[in-house]
Amino acid sequence: MPSPSYVHGASDQPLLGQTIGELFDKTVLRFGDREALVDRTKNVRLTYRALGDQAAALARGLLELGVASGERVGIWSPNRWEWVVTQFGTAKIGAILVNINPAYRLRELSYALQQSGIRTLIMAPAFGRSDYLAMLRDLLPSLAECHVQTPDFPDLKEVVVLGDDAPEGTMRWQNLLALADRVPDLELQARQREVQFDDPVNIQYTSGTTGMPKGATLSHHNLLNNGYFIGELMHFSERDRLCIPVPFYHTFGMVLANLACVTHGATMVIPGEGFDAEQVLATVEAERCTALHGVPTMFIAELQHPAFGNYDLSSLRTGLMAGSPCPVEVMRQVQSRMHMAEVEIAYGMTETSPVSTQTRSDDPLDLRVSTVGKVHPHVEIKIVDPATGAVVQRGEPGELVTRSYAVMLGYWNNPAATSQAIDGARWMHTGDLAVMREDGYVNIVGRIKDMIIRGGENIYPREIEEFYYTHPKVADIQVIGVPDSKYGEQVMACIRLKNGQAATEEEMREFARGQIAHYKVPHYVTFVEAFPMTVTGKVQKYLMREMAVKELGLEGAAGTTTA
C-alpha cells in the first residue's frame, strides 16, 4: 500500500547556532593563508585573511557612516569581488543586505529603494549596456547638488560607487573603506556581539510574473545553515575551488556558492561579471576548479560552445545544476563530457533559503539525473492536493510544500503576501507540482500555473520536454499551453535546434506519435533562436504564452470561458 507523501530530513548533524559573521571569522582564523576569492576580470586574489580584513574594513566604514543594526544596505552590481566583501561585511554589523537585480531599470530600482527603505546603496557604475550612474542621476537629480536624500527616497543617505570614479554626491568604495581607520576594532566587536542568528540579514526580491516583486526576508540562521548543508552534501573542503557564473544577487550565487564555500574554507572563483560560456570554460581550466555551478541553460551553452573541446576540464569533480528543471540528457552530458561525475541537482526557492531537496553524490546514476533528490537535512516536505490541502499518496502529483529552519521570516513589509505563501502551520507553499516516489526521491513535474489542461486531461510540460530532449536535433525545448476554443488549451512546443540542424514542424510531431499519448503530441510547433529569460536563467513561460497568443491569433480563444 502506498505511503503518504511526507518526509522529514532527520540528521545527526546539528544546525549551526551562529551568525554569518561569527562563522566567517572562524573560517578566517582556520584557513587564513588559503585562497578565498579570485576575481578573474578584476585581477584580484584574496586569501581568507585578506578577505576578512576587507570585510572588517567595510563593516567599520559603515559604522562610521552611522549604519545601525537592522538598517538596509543595498547592493546593485554584477558579480565582482566587492560583492562578496559586502555580503560578509554587512552581516558583521547586523545590517540587512538588499540584493538589487543587475537587470533592474528605473522603475524597478525606484521600487526596491523605496519598499525596503535602503539607507546606503553600494553600486557598480555600469553593467553591459546598462549605465547605472545615468539611471541614478535620473532618479536622484539632486546628486548634482551633492544631495542624496529626497522626499521620494527619505531613507537613502549615501551612495557608494565601486571603482575609481564616483560622481558628485556619491562616495568611492576605497573612501568608504578608509573610514575604517576612525572606528576601533573593539567597536565592531561590540556591535557584532549584539547580532542574533534569528535576525534578518538579507532581502531578495522575487521576480513574480504579475505585480511588483516581493522582498523575501531571510535570517542568518536561514542562509548559513542552508549553505553549510549544501556544502556538506557536496563533500566540500578547503581543497575545493568553485567556479561561480551564477549571479550573486540570487540565492544561487550568494548561498549555494559563497556560503557553501565559506562554511568549508573552499575558494570562490568569479569567471566574469556576467555569464559567458567560453569565459567559464577558460576559468575552469586556468584555475583548476573542482566544482562548477549553473542553471541548465548555462551548461547547455558550455557543452555546445564551438571551443568546448579546446579546454581541459579534468579538474572538475562536482557542482550543482539548479534554478529551473534540469533535463535528464543534459545531466548525462555534464557527467560524461565535463568530468563532473559527482554533479548534483538541487531544488528550492528564494523563500526557502533556497534548497529543500538535493541529490547525493553516491546516488545511483538514474536518480541523480532524473530526480531532484531527497529532502535536505532538518527539512520537512509533503505533497498535497492543491484544492484540499490533503496529503496525497506517494506516486501521485500535488503541490510541494515545505517547513523548516529555512523558511523565510516573511515578505518585507507585506504581511498579506506572507500569509498567502506561508500557512498557519508554517508550511511554505511553493506552487510547484511534484511527485514523491516510494523511496522518498522527488520529481518536479511543473508549475501549477504552467500545467496544461486539454479537454480535461492534465498535461505536465516537463514530461514532453524530457521526451524531446532525446531527439538528436533538439538542443533545448520549452512546452507551453496556448488557448483553444474547443479543448480549452493545446500543447505548443518551442524548439531550439542544435547548430547546423534543420527540421519541420511535422517532423517534430511525427517523432512523438506513438511514443507519447496523442493528446500530449504538440498541436503547434515553432522553432526559436532563444527563450525569454530572467537574469538567473529561468525561462519566462508566461511571456512565451503571451507572444504565442498574438502570433497565432488566438486572442478570441483566450477569452473563452471554460468550466
| CATH at 495 | 3.30.300.30
Output 367 or 254, whichever has higher pLDDT. 254
pLDDT greater at residue 146 or residue 444:
444
- Answer with the residue of higher pLDDT: 122 or 533: 122
Q: Report the helix count and the strand count for the chain, using DSSP H and E.
A: 19, 27
Q: In terms of DSSP H, where are the helices of 31-93?
A: 48-65, 81-92
Q: Check residue 13 and give its pLDDT.
A: 98
* Confidence check: pLDDT of 562 > 50: no
Cell of 324: 529551473
State the cell numbers at 40: 578573474
502 lies in some domain: yes
Q: pLDDT of 300-316, one tens digit each?
A: 899 999 999 999 999 99
- DSSP 8-state assignment for residue 288: T
Q: Is the pTM of this model over 0.95?
A: no
Listed residue (282, 286, 322, 323) closest to 302, CA to CA: 282
The number of CA neighbours under 13 Å toward the Cβ of 428 is 25
In the predicted structure, residue 534 carries a pLDDT above the cut 80: no
Report the distance separating Cα 479 and Cα 310, nearest Å. Answer: 33
Name the 3-class secondary structure at 120. Answer: strand
Reported as a single tens digit per residue, the pLDDT across 459-507 is 878 889 988 999 999 999 999 999 887 778 899 999 999 999 999 999 9
Give 500: exposed, middle or buried? Use CB within 10 Å, 0-12, 13-18, 19+: exposed
Query: Is 56 contained in some domain?
Result: yes
The type of residue at 173 is W
For residue 62, what are the CA distances in angstroms to 173, 265, 369, 424? 11, 26, 45, 38
Q: What is the pLDDT of residue 129?
A: 87
Q: What confidence score (pLDDT) does residue 209 get?
A: 43
Would residue 332 count as lying in a domain?
no
Q: Does the pLDDT at position 558 exceed 80?
A: no
Residues 6+ apart with CB under 8 A from 107: none
pLDDT band at residue 563 using 50, 70 and 90 as cut-offs: very low
User: What are the residues whose beta carbons fall under 8 Å from the beta carbon of 268, sequence distance 6 or more?
Assistant: 36, 37, 38, 84, 242, 244, 257, 258, 261, 262
Last residue within a domain, chosen from 196, 230, 251: 196
> Based on the structure, what is the number of domains in the chain?
2
CA angle 376, 339, 281 (to 5 degrees): 100
At 205, which helix (H) or strand (E)? Answer: strand 200-206
| C-alpha grid cell, residue 150 | 529626497
Dihedral, CA atoms, 247, 251, 256, 262, nearest 10 degrees?
A: 90
Q: Is residue 466 part of a domain?
A: yes
Assign residue 339 a region: left if phi > 0, alpha if psi is -120 to 50, beta otherwise?
left
**367 domain-assigned:** no
What pLDDT was estimated at residue 559?
Answer: 54
211 HSE (CA, 13 A, CB side):
7
Q: Quote the domain boundaries for residue 465.
A: 453-558
Q: How much is the pLDDT for 561? A: 31
Which of 172, 196, 220 represents a domain boundary (last residue)? Answer: 196
Question: Residue 98: inside a domain, yes or no?
Answer: yes
Give a yes or no: residue 83 inside a domain.
Answer: yes
pLDDT of residue 165: 82
Does some domain include residue 291?
no
Here the CATH number for the domain that contains residue 137 is: 3.40.50.980
Cα distance between residue 72 and residue 63, in whole Å: 13
Considering the chain, what is the average pLDDT of its residues? 93
Confidence at residue 142, expressed as pLDDT on a 0 to 100 scale: 83
3-state secondary structure of 398: strand
Angle at 507 between CA 502 and CA 511, to 5 degrees: 120
Helix axes 185-194, 81-92, angle to 10 degrees: 70
pLDDT in tens, 503-519: 999 999 999 998 888 88
Give the pLDDT of residue 296: 87
Give the tens place of pLDDT for each residue, 47-89. 999 999 999 999 999 999 999 999 999 999 999 999 999 999 9
Instruction: Pick the range with the lowest mean pLDDT from 24-33, 326-335, 340-349.
Output: 326-335
Is residue 211 within 8 Å of 205, Cβ to Cβ?
no
pLDDT, tens digit (0-9, with 9 covering 90-100), for 400-426:
999 999 999 999 999 999 999 999 999
Please compute, for residue 276, the number of CA atoms within 13 A of its CA located in the half-sphere on the CB side: 14
Q: Region 265-290: what's the mean pLDDT?
A: 98
- Condensed to tens digits (0 to 9), the pLDDT of residues 183-192 reads 999 999 999 9
> Which residue among 149, 181, 196 closes a domain?
196
Contact predicate 238/266, CB 8 Å: yes
Of all residues in the chain, what percent carry a pLDDT higher than 70?
97
- Give one word for 371, left, alpha or beta, with left for phi > 0 and alpha for psi -120 to 50: beta
